[in-house]
């Protein structure tokens, strides 16, 4: 089966995709899972980290893979299907981080890739957790939290689809941000005693967006605390 040709990394943000940036506690808080769960899931990716290295940092690619696994688990996809789909994509598509580089579809607790992403007959999908079995495409849902460009999940709606908080490696060095303003900056201003409305005015945000950023930062702080 033919694979898509990866583009040569040139822009600074592209070179950062493999750099360790996100602490385990942060990744767990972003994905809304326990830090111990993140440590356990890296069995699907041996190079991610060792369980005893609880304070190791993840790259952007690894962060997105954790997020995608978390989303599929919440959708009820069995872990064995997730492992099988990832192994298939790694072997057949030669992708080190397939969940960050391909937009998988889910249906009836199985994972698929379609003809828009890989070289198969138009109108069909590959059931990746069944060794690449071809099927005719039906209505199968994608994860709404992720937006793919240049064969990479470049925008993660980390607080949920429809909410303003985005992780994008091209913006604020990949920190969670609201319209370009990192949420940690918003939290810092709030902790310094500024009101939501003042913060909103300074950064051109809506008060509700500031509120969402603060709520998200509380979740992140809780994730960090679980490692201490």
Q: Is this structure's pTM higher than 0.75?
A: yes
Calpha distance 126→56 (Å, rounded):
35
Per residue in 138-177, pLDDT (tens digit) is: 645 668 899 988 778 999 999 998 899 999 999 999 999 9
CA distances in angstroms from 106 to 39, 71, 207, listed in the order given: 24, 11, 36
Q: How much is the pLDDT for 54? A: 46
Tell me which residue has tokens 């069944």. Answer: 130
- Closest by CA position to 222, among listed 51, 38, 29: 29
Mean pLDDT, residues 62-73 taken together: 93
More confident residue, 166 or 2: 166
Calpha distance 49→58 (Å, rounded):
8
The DSSP result for 80-139, as a single string, is HHHHHHHHHHHHHH--SSHHHHS--EEETTEEEEETTTSSS-TTEEEEGGGTSEEEE---
> What number does CATH give the domain 157-228?
1.10.10.10
Task: Give, for 69, the enclosing helix (H) or strand (E).
Answer: helix 60-74
Secondary structure of residue 6 in the 3-state scheme: coil
């Amino acid at each position: 089966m033919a694979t898509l040709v990866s583009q040569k990394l040139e822009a600074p943000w592209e070179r950062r995709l493999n750099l360790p940036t996100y602490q385990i506690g942060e990744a767990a808080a972003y994905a809304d899972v326990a830090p111990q769960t993140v440590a356990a899931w890296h069995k699907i990716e041996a190079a991610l980290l060792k369980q005893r290295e609880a304070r190791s940092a993840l790259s952007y690619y690894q962060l997105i893979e954790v997020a995608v696994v978390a989303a599929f688990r919440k959708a009820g996809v069995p872990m064995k299907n997730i492992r099988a789909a990832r192994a298939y994509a790694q072997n057949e598509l030669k992708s080190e981080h397939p969940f960050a580089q391909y937009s998988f579809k889910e249906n009836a607790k199985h994972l698929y890739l379609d003809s828009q992403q890989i070289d198969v007959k138009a109108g069909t999908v590959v059931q990746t957790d069944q060794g690449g079995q071809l099927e005719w495409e039906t209505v199968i849902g994608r994860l709404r939290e992720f937006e793919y460009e240049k064969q990479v999940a470049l925008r993660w709606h980390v607080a949920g689809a429809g909410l303003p908080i985005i992780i994008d490696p091209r913006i604020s060095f990949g920190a969670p941000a609201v319209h370009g303003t990192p949420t940690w900056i918003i939290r810092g201003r709030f902790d310094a005693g500024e009101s939501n409305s003042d913060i909103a005015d300074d950064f051109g945000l809506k008060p509700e967006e500031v509120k969402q950023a603060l709520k998200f930062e509380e979740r992140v702080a809780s994730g960090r605390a679980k490692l201490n």
